[in-house]
Amino acid sequence: MSHFDLTILVIDENAVRAAIIEDGLREAGHGHVTVVHTVTGIARVIEATGPDVIIIDIENPNRDMMEHLFQLTRSVSRPIAMFVDRSDSASIEAAVEAGVSAYIVDGLKKERVKPILDMAVIRFNAFSRLQRELAEAKSALEDRKVIERAKGILMKMRQLSEEEAYALLRQTAMNEKKKLADIAQSVVTAAGLLM
């Protein structure tokens, strides 16, 4: 997806501020911009517009509103840039935890919108990649553990060497066109029932 095909959703209760953001985006060459002026029912709007990036601008966020927005940002897996006029450290921490990619306090100027948007996208992509890599590493580790356990069970129950046990698991996986870890899991599960 090229940079300019981004669909951007702007959530802003203040029409004047929303116009500043919209101008900044259009000047940066972004044509697909949707602006909504209320936070209520926003989940439905996100579903309907399917934005690539979300910009949230709140002059004076109160606790409840922020909590509502952070719940929302946790559930949509997209880059989010949030502008607020003032903030305390607890809100900033909550924003980061909720997955807001760029949290800008007192910085709504037209020429800042584009670099902040770019930063939000870059951060989001980097974070997503890290999360994916972490999940893959975790699952590889789980797979290794279960394969080790299955080998141990086969060695004990069928008096096989470690190499033979592994070869048997691999052969079975190939024959059944399944992942080695899945076959290993079946062995571990079956052994649990038999022992």
CB of 27 closer than 8 Å to CB of 35: no
Give residue 1's pLDDT.
45
Give the homologous superfamily in CATH for domain 3-108: Response regulator (3.40.50.2300)
> How far is residue 127 CA from its own chain's centroid?
7
Residue 83 phi/psi, 5° resolution? Answer: -105, 130
**pLDDT tens sequence across 144-190:** 999 999 999 999 999 999 999 999 999 999 999 999 999 999 999 99
Give residue 195's pLDDT.
67
> In the 8-state DSSP scheme, what is residue 181?
H
Q: Which CATH class is domain 136-194?
A: mainly alpha
| Measured distance CA(117)–CA(38) in Å, rounded | 21
Break the chain into its structural domains and give their ranges. Answer: 3-108, 136-194
Residue 40 phi/psi, 5° resolution? Answer: -70, 140
Give residue 21's pLDDT.
87
Burial of 9 (0-12, 13-18, 19+ CB in 10 A): buried
Q: What are the E-state strand segments in 7-161? A: 7-12, 32-36, 53-58, 80-84, 102-105
Q: In what order do the strands lie in the sheet with 80-84?
A: 32-36, 7-12, 53-58, 80-84, 102-105
Listed as ranges, residues in the chain with pLDDT below 50 are 1-2
CB of 9 closer than 8 Å to CB of 49: yes
Asked whether the domain spanning 136-194 has the same topology as the one spanning 3-108, the reply is no
Q: How many residues does the chain have?
A: 195
Extract the tokens encoding 33.
């911009």
